[in-house]
Amino acid sequence: MELNLEPLNLPGVENKRPLVIAGPCSAESEEQVMETALQLAKNGVKIFRAGVWKPRTKPGGFEGHGTVALPWMKRVKEETNMLVTTEVATAKHVEAALEAGIDILWIGARTSANPFAVQEIADALKGVDIPVLIKNPVNPDLELWVGALERVNGAGIKRLAAIHRGFSSYDKKIYRNLPMWQLPIELSRRIPNLPIICDPSHIGGRRDLIAPLCQQAMDLGMDGLIVESHCNPDSAWSDANQQVTPDILDYILNMLVIRDEIQTTESIVALRKQIDEIDNQIMDILAKRMRVCREIGHYKKEHGMTIVQTSRYSEILDRRGAQASLCGINPGCVRLIFEAIHEESVAQQVEIINK
């Protein structure tokens, strides 16, 4: 399905990279909302974000004030002339946000993973002309992301954008959510006129990662940034570790290098970024493989087994060589790679058995 899209055309917002959306993770109080908004507006930010309804992974956390906070957003508009945006997850959220004059809506990662929820929101938006931003689903499912965009577009919403907020992972890694840059790059290739906005706060999960992630997003040609900014981040009621003050955000934005747009959708820079991400994935997989090898080492030690099982080693080399041929890779190259992997696996098991 080809999306029927129009430019975002946001009043009072200059059409240049990066489009910047900033504000606290959640609207905690009228004072906190206004203090943050005034600081951001002073620094030139034109779009204010704050979570009114906050879907949390586990019960017991702060889930937002709901409609009580909507008048605070309205006050931000009146006193700063900023546009305001918040997350919606149900049809009732949509209705309340529209009634309160919210300028831009976004659909969160948990909601975009649920086609029934997205369709409910899409139905509530029929006949409305408002920009809608759709975050990627929590899991790396490009088709589900595209499906959410198609559902909302099918309801008549033409001013659409995607938000790349990274993808959940079971294992603990540097990032809170893995960037997996190749997925938003593929989304951009498939839908070239779809703006893509990067969410470095949720990708990094740490404020010290926001600046490099913002630069990466710009290097990849993304259109905008949505950054969590709080007047007092350390006291934030939700996601304190990934929020920065408005002044720190201003410094980050002023340090960004915005390069000219590339001539083709698949530039050498974008391809190299994909290779970097794939290499990171290879390292993660190797780490998992070595962890399993160490578990096997403990088993061999407990059962008095030798470390090297020659028949098993030969089977691995033969099987991976055959797979290499089918994948268009030189089997000799793959053999060298797996010989090195096996050598390290043996070394780790030797260390365990000799303890």
**pLDDT-wise least confident of 32-41, 147-156, 264-273, 289-298:** 264-273
**pLDDT above 80 for 116:** yes
Q: Tell me the two tokens of residue 174.
A: 């540097």
What pLDDT is stored for residue 336 in this prediction?
A: 87
172 and 43 co-located in one domain: yes
The reported pLDDT for the residue numbered 22 is: 98
Q: Where are the beta strands (DSSP E) in the chain?
A: 19-23, 47-49, 83-87, 104-107, 132-135, 160-164, 196-198, 224-228
Q: What pLDDT, on the 0 to 100 scale, is given for residue 259? A: 81
- Check pLDDT > 90 for residue 273: no
Is 276's pLDDT higher than 80?
Answer: yes
**CATH no. for residue 347?**
1.20.59.10
Residue 319 lies in a domain: yes
Q: How many domains does the chain have?
A: 2
200 and 301 in a single domain? The answer is no
12 domain-assigned:
no
Q: Are residues 47 and 177 in the same domain?
A: yes
Question: Last residue of some domain: 255, 279, 302?
Answer: 255
Residue 157 lies in a domain: yes
pLDDT per position as a tens digit, 47-87? 999 999 977 666 767 888 999 999 999 999 999 999 999 99
User: Which residue range(s) make up the domain with 71?
Assistant: 19-255
In a domain, 126, yes or no: yes
- Looking at every residue in the chain, the average pLDDT score rounds to 92
Task: Answer yes or no: is 260 within a domain.
Answer: no
2 falls within a domain: no
Sequence-ordered list of residues with C-beta below 8 angstroms from that of 342, at least 6 positions apart, any chain = 313, 316
Q: Is the pLDDT of residue 321 over 60?
A: yes
Q: Indicate whether 114 pLDDT > 70.
A: yes
137 and 102, same domain (yes or no): yes
- Whether 159 maps to a domain, the answer reads yes
Are residues 140 and 289 both part of a single domain? no
- Compute the C-alpha angle 23/16/135, nearest 5°: 50
Residues 83, 145 within the same domain: yes
Cα(327)–Cα(133) distance, rounded to whole angstroms? Answer: 38
- The pLDDT score that the predictor gives to residue 256 is 96
User: Where among 212, 231, 255 does a domain terminate?
Assistant: 255
Q: Which of 243, 226, 252, 239 is nearest to 85 (CA)?
A: 226
Assigned domain for 344 exists: yes
List, for residues 211-252, the tens digit of each pLDDT value: 999 999 999 999 999 999 999 999 999 999 999 999 999 999
Do 65 and 203 sit in the same domain of this protein? yes
Beta carbons of 5 and 190 less than 8 angstroms apart = no
Task: Give yes or no: residues 208 and 342 share one domain.
Answer: no
Residues 235 and 275 in one domain: no
